[in-house]
Structure 1
Amino acid sequence: MLKNSFTVFFVLLIFFSCNSPKKEYKEIKKTAINSSYPDGYVGDKNCVSCHKKETNLWKGSHHDLAMQVANDSTVLGDFNDVSTVIDKVSYHFYRKDGGFFVNIKEIDGSVNDYQIKYTFGFTPLQQYLVDFDKGRKQVLRVTWDTLKKRWYHQYKGDIIPQHDWLHWTRGAQNWNTMCAECHSTNLKKNYFIEKDSFYTTYSVINVSCESCHGPGEKHLQWAEGDQKSKDYHILNSTTKIQQINDCAPCHSRRSKLTQNLTPGLTYEDQYMIQSLTPNLYFRDGQIMDEDYVVGSFLQSKMYHSSVKCSNCHDPHSMQLKFQGNTLCLQCHINTVYNTPKHHFHKMDTEESQCINCHMTGRTYMGNDFRRDHSFRIPRPDQSVKYKTPNACTGCHKDKSDKWAADYIVKWYGSKRRDHFSDALILSTKPSLSAKEKEKLNAFITDTKYPYIARATAIENMQITTNDDYVSLLKTLNDSSALVKYKTLQKFNALPLEQRASIALKHIADTVKLVRVGAANLIIDLDLNTLQEPERSKAVAALEDYKEMLFASADF
């Protein structure tokens, strides 16, 4: 399935490349990484004089230390003539002329030395970047565990041959494609298809003020002027939607719709979030693979009750605002929830912590434990039926899911609250009864449920009859752009005439994601058969679609 998807992608990319006016590429300075401030970006040094408190909170944060030039004060790994062999790959870490180097002997016997140019992160792990040809930078597989002070491999035990995309010298560990946008400010990837080369630039090496607040030039002019205007010319995200637009580009698993990324712009005009796909998420929507938080947060009752990122996290230090249950008790009544009558565990223990029941987690990148932000009530009854994880047996590993489910009934009764996960699981079944189809059709149109769950259910749905298509017509006009996009995708198997009839109603949608979904239905349509203004709208939508393809041409 994945292979076929890549095939379709590259066929379309070649089609659009060959049928588009020749793009004139400006030569970019081959000092691929620069320190100038284009596009109105002035750098964090111009912010500190007025914003000392925020700057001090930001200093030393994950954003501040996202990427640094490798030197004695930034490199945490042991490069003092240390050797190790991991998964049949030999490493020797050493210093030379003030620099940091690694000698790597691959499993095929090839040996190369690389100089460490940059660091990524600082805790619980630190990664290292080296230079390759054609403007590429690659992230070493070998990683420094800053907690245990040791070298290790992510995905330990996997023997990855050098021709594999997952090998550290290839696509999966390519900085320009996979990492750069979320580790630096005003990152311009600048991938040129004709040369298969990158001329990647950024304004500031790390995630600094303007990554979130946008370019500061006009704000600086306002600050240095009479300050009479109430337009500060700076982004200040205060609502949950604004914070999703601000944070989700880097804190979600997603694909890009454009190469021209703009801080604060509506998320669905720049990105498409990854749906709750099996193998990336469990069938009930719990995290499995890395989803970078927002995909699970959008499922939560918290998000739908207008809870936003900054209610729990300080936006500058990234730290939690409070420790322990105090964080949750900002909203939840202490006497109702912070008591053994609710959680049935001894007070002031790990077992009595809200997050250990409602925010279970998984370890990624070898040692980085991250919590599920869907804030769900444990459902061991679902685990019994569908083998999904639950918080109870996550701690009580010597007990069965049935044991946990029985205790839930004993403590809280036999009735479970209505939850979208029941319908989401239903959508993954290979075949449905008439009653199950009716339930699923009701779910995908009910906006009280999370839109990411409804969109995923639509993606999972098996279309076997014309009646199945009829049931999707309602979601074509959903309030969620993602739901509309996933619905449009389901009509792709219809004959061209029917596809075009549906697509032409959505090619001028106000949200780019929907326009891209509509354009996908009319790729093979002769636009000369359309009258104005439909023809111009279709041309514009296909330009959006082409832009999406080029945005990921290097992937």
Structure 2
Amino acid sequence: MPPEFECLLVCLLALISSLPVLLKLRRYLRRAFWTSLLGIILAAGGEVAWNSQRAREKASEAAFAMTVPRQVQSEGYVSSSNCRSCHPSEYSSWHETFHRTMTQVARPGLVLGSFEGVVLELNGEKYALKKSGDEFWAEMPDPDWNHDAKNTRLAALGEFSKPPRLWKRIGLLTGSHHMQIYWVTSRFGNMQTIFPFAWLIQDRRWAPVHETFLRDPKLPPSLHIWNVNCLKCHATGGQPRPDPVTRILETRADELGIACEACHGPAQQHIQINQSPWNRYRQHWTTNAAGQIANPIRKAKETSSHICGQCHGIKWIPTAENFNQTGFRYRPGDNLNDTTPIVRPSRLDLMQWLREPLRQNPKFLDEHYWSDGEVRVSGREFNGLVDSPCYERGNLSCVSCHSMHQSAPDDQLAAGKRGNQACLQCHAVFAGKIQEHTHHAAGSTGSECYNCHMPHTTYGLLKAIRSHRISSPNVKTNVLTGRPNACNLCHLDQSLDWTAQHLSEWYHTPAVELSGEQREISAALLGLLRGDAGQRALAAWSMGWEPATQASGQSWLAPFLAELLDDPYSAVRYIAYRSLRRIQGFEDFKYDFVGPAADRTTARTRALEVWRSLGIKGIDRTGTKVLVEPTGALHQTVIDNLLRQRDDRSMDLQE
């Protein structure tokens, strides 16, 4: 019998048993009798209603739990909660990181997007959002429709009909730093299908997910499934577990998000052995005691960096079938190359196993790397590290600069490693001659090691990110690959020829053959006007980077950023608009980077009008290099010629 009915029965029995006494006293207690009777009935009814509501909520929560990946501790995993009692400080600092919140179940306080009375529209379909109690819902076309084999067959026969509209509950959340992506539950087990809008956290607005990536707008939308795409790095100990026949997923993970055991390995044996005080004491004076877990700080550079590289690298999965059922076999402390080797185009001669995958997907390298093999997309810093001389010939590792526990959540740079000290810990010879080496004033942004040796040539998350392949500025490499030169990412108003002359004078680099445009026109403008979509995005970002605008001026950039407001790629438009608004006079400029095409064209015209209204006194750079005449007029003929040369090849950067 349900508990609410048991409660009601007890109340009724109590009432019946008290009736004889109450009847004898009815003359004196008639009013009290009826008042008491009414109170008992109301109390019993309230109890029934409350218990009934609780039962419904529990049933709903139990049903919901079946639709999200199960958090199951197996194969030695025990979850981060079991680390807390012995390692409270480390647990607390990890708890503040964006690693922990990378994947979460949708709950109040965790959902950052607005769900109150919101209606979104995409490709003629409306998406209504609502919050019901502690649940978040979206009315949308059934995302399971295309996953159903029957519907796929009908579509092939030309008998396709539109998917039905229904309310889908938000299951998982991805991200809490720059943007938050939402996943809806499915009837195919605990499969999580992407909701087509993302919440841009800083902008506090919704945007179509596919518009937040640097992706050719002519390409069809991608169908992202969390269990297949994101589980590889955004969960700890994940196992997709699809049924090849029914297509139902029974995905499991030790924990959602990047947890303690993602970096330290399964901790079951560690916990069991260290129940003994004697064993805990032994840990302090031996390096190979039983039950020790992996500690990146205490490992050799290769082993330590592989721990980060398991997620922050582009890796090859040789046996996808095994991964689908049991997840990755790599465990912290192992050699990553034994199970999922990193794809290094710079060493393709050692990667014969890569020939067949590249034959099947010839665009793979272009989607991830510059032409010389340097990685160009975010989240793959390990790829840059392993190609760096500081790693190959030195002892640099990820933890040389980063810390999961002694750092701020943003970038997670270890204490004292945000400036030149990160490099001087190895290159101490330069400590007393920073200005002599950099030819920039000590303490200036031009004298910061990483602005020259780790420039912002990687793209991701609607911004430029520092390359983690440590190198020196080299104009010849830039000409061959199209990758921006570190000098010109600060000196936006200077040409590649200007850079080549200074590098030759200061560091005796060989002369480079350059075209007339490379000698005479700002390298940043060449990238912005005639570069590919990735180059245009990096150029637009650098035009909003404060060290660059301090070195190069800012107002003269406005008409060129205005040109990108009508760019074919939404990511380029977004970055250009953000940089434009940082220019005086454009702080309140209104524009929607995913608005109608006609509005984007109009916005370009409006931005040019605002710039012209500033007058010549408001323009801080003129000359041939910046394509602005002393009168304030643009070298429009040259600009139009460069636009005609624009590299319009299809791009889909896989960040």
Tell me the residue number matched to 2:488.
393
Number of positions where the alignment pairs a residue of Structure 1 with one of Structure 2: 382
Tell me the residue number matched to 1:239.
300
Distance verdict in 2 for CA 1:213–1:401, change over 3 Å: same
Larger radius of gyration: 2
Deviation at 1:200, TM superposition (A): 0.5
Check the 8 A contact 1:87/1:156 in 2, yes or no. Answer: no
Check the 8 A contact 1:280/1:291 in 2, yes or no. Answer: no
Tell me the residue number matched to 2:112.
76
Alpha-carbon distance between aligned partners in 1 of 2:269 and 2:488, rounded to the nearest angstrom? 54
Identify the match of residue 185 of structure 2 among 131, 154, 176.
Answer: 131
SS of corresponding position for 1:65: helix
* Aligned-partner residue type, residue 202 of structure 1: A
* Aligned-partner residue type, residue 290 of structure 2: D
Tell me the residue number matched to 2:255.
204
Alpha-carbon distance between aligned partners in 1 of 2:341 and 2:477, rounded to the nearest angstrom? 29
Deviation at 1:386, TM superposition (A): 4.6
Tell me the residue number matched to 2:271.
220
Tell me the residue number matched to 1:402.
497
Alpha-carbon distance between aligned partners in 1 of 2:432 and 2:242, rounded to the nearest angstrom? 52
Tell me the residue number matched to 2:343.
274
How much identity, in percent, do the aligned residues show? 26
Deviation at 1:309, TM superposition (A): 1.0
Tell me the residue number matched to 1:142.
197
User: Quick check: 182-191 or 380-389, which moved more?
Assistant: 380-389
Distance verdict in 2 for CA 1:353–1:254, change over 3 Å: same
SS of corresponding position for 2:501: helix
Deviation at 1:43, TM superposition (A): 1.6
Alpha-carbon distance between aligned partners in 1 of 2:121 and 2:491, rounded to the nearest angstrom? 36
Deviation at 1:407, TM superposition (A): 1.7
Can you list the C-alpha shifts for 1:37-88, whole angstroms capped at 9, x where unaligned?
2222222111111111211210121221111111121111122223444676
Distance verdict in 2 for CA 1:118–1:299, change over 3 Å: same
Deviation at 1:285, TM superposition (A): 3.2
Distance verdict in 2 for CA 1:284–1:337, change over 3 Å: farther
Can you list the C-alpha shifts for 1:267-319, whole angstroms capped at 9, x where unaligned?
12211322333452112333323461111111001212121111111134561
Instruction: Find out whether 1:254 has 2:315 as its counterpart.
Output: yes
Tell me the residue number matched to 2:91.
55
Instruction: Find out whether 1:122 has 2:210 as its counterpart.
Output: no
Check the 8 A contact 1:362/1:369 in 2, yes or no. Answer: yes
Tell me the residue number matched to 1:293.
381
Check the 8 A contact 1:285/1:296 in 2, yes or no. Answer: no
Tell me the residue number matched to 2:157.
none
Alpha-carbon distance between aligned partners in 2 of 1:352 and 1:91, rounded to the nearest angstrom? 50
Alpha-carbon distance between aligned partners in 2 of 1:159 and 1:137, rounded to the nearest angstrom? 25
Alpha-carbon distance between aligned partners in 2 of 1:104 and 1:294, rounded to the nearest angstrom? 39
Deviation at 1:176, TM superposition (A): 1.1
By relative contact order (CA 8 Å, sep 6+), the higher-ranking structure is 1
5 Å-filtered alignment, 1:119-518, equals 119-135=173-189, 136-156=191-211, 164=220, 166-167=221-222, 170=223, 173-228=224-279, 230-237=289-296, 238-258=299-319, 259=323, 260=326, 261-264=329-332, 265-276=334-345, 277-290=365-378, 292-304=380-392, 305-316=394-405, 319-321=412-414, 322-333=417-428, 335-336=430-431, 339-362=434-457, 364-415=459-510
Tell me the residue number matched to 2:102.
66
Check the 8 A contact 1:92/1:104 in 2, yes or no. Answer: yes
Tell me the residue number matched to 2:5.
none
Distance verdict in 2 for CA 1:297–1:86, change over 3 Å: farther
Check the 8 A contact 1:182/1:250 in 2, yes or no. Answer: yes
Alpha-carbon distance between aligned partners in 2 of 1:86 and 1:32, rounded to the nearest angstrom? 26
Query: Unaligned 5+ residue runs, structure 1?
Result: 1-28, 417-555
Alpha-carbon distance between aligned partners in 2 of 1:61 and 1:176, rounded to the nearest angstrom? 23
Distance verdict in 2 for CA 1:289–1:43, change over 3 Å: closer
Check the 8 A contact 1:145/1:367 in 2, yes or no. Answer: no
* Aligned-partner residue type, residue 423 of structure 2: C
Deviation at 1:363, TM superposition (A): 6.3
* Aligned-partner residue type, residue 299 of structure 1: D
Check the 8 A contact 1:154/1:366 in 2, yes or no. Answer: no
Deviation at 1:357, TM superposition (A): 1.6
* Aligned-partner residue type, residue 324 of structure 1: G
* Aligned-partner residue type, residue 98 of structure 1: D
Check the 8 A contact 2:457/2:484 in 1, yes or no. Answer: no
Distance verdict in 2 for CA 1:143–1:415, change over 3 Å: same
Distance verdict in 2 for CA 1:369–1:152, change over 3 Å: farther
Deviation at 1:128, TM superposition (A): 1.4
SS of corresponding position for 1:361: coil
Normalising by structure 1, what TM-score? 0.62
* Aligned-partner residue type, residue 201 of structure 2: T
SS of corresponding position for 2:251: coil
Alpha-carbon distance between aligned partners in 1 of 2:427 and 2:372, rounded to the nearest angstrom? 25
The structure that is helix-richer by fraction is 2
Distance verdict in 2 for CA 1:35–1:381, change over 3 Å: closer
SS of corresponding position for 1:256: coil
SS of corresponding position for 2:316: strand
SS of corresponding position for 2:494: coil
Distance verdict in 2 for CA 1:79–1:350, change over 3 Å: farther
Check the 8 A contact 2:377/2:458 in 1, yes or no. Answer: no
Query: Unaligned 5+ residue runs, structure 2?
Result: 1-64, 143-160, 283-288, 346-364, 512-655
Check the 8 A contact 2:458/2:467 in 1, yes or no. Answer: no
* Aligned-partner residue type, residue 217 of structure 1: Q
Deviation at 1:334, TM superposition (A): 6.9
Alpha-carbon distance between aligned partners in 2 of 1:178 and 1:198, rounded to the nearest angstrom? 13
Deviation at 1:327, TM superposition (A): 2.3
What RMSD, in angstroms, separates the aligned Cα atoms of the two structures? 3.1
Alpha-carbon distance between aligned partners in 1 of 2:403 and 2:259, rounded to the nearest angstrom? 15
Distance verdict in 2 for CA 1:263–1:105, change over 3 Å: same
User: Quick check: 141-150 or 90-99, which moved more?
Assistant: 90-99
* Aligned-partner residue type, residue 178 of structure 1: N
Normalising by structure 2, what TM-score? 0.53
Deviation at 1:150, TM superposition (A): 2.0
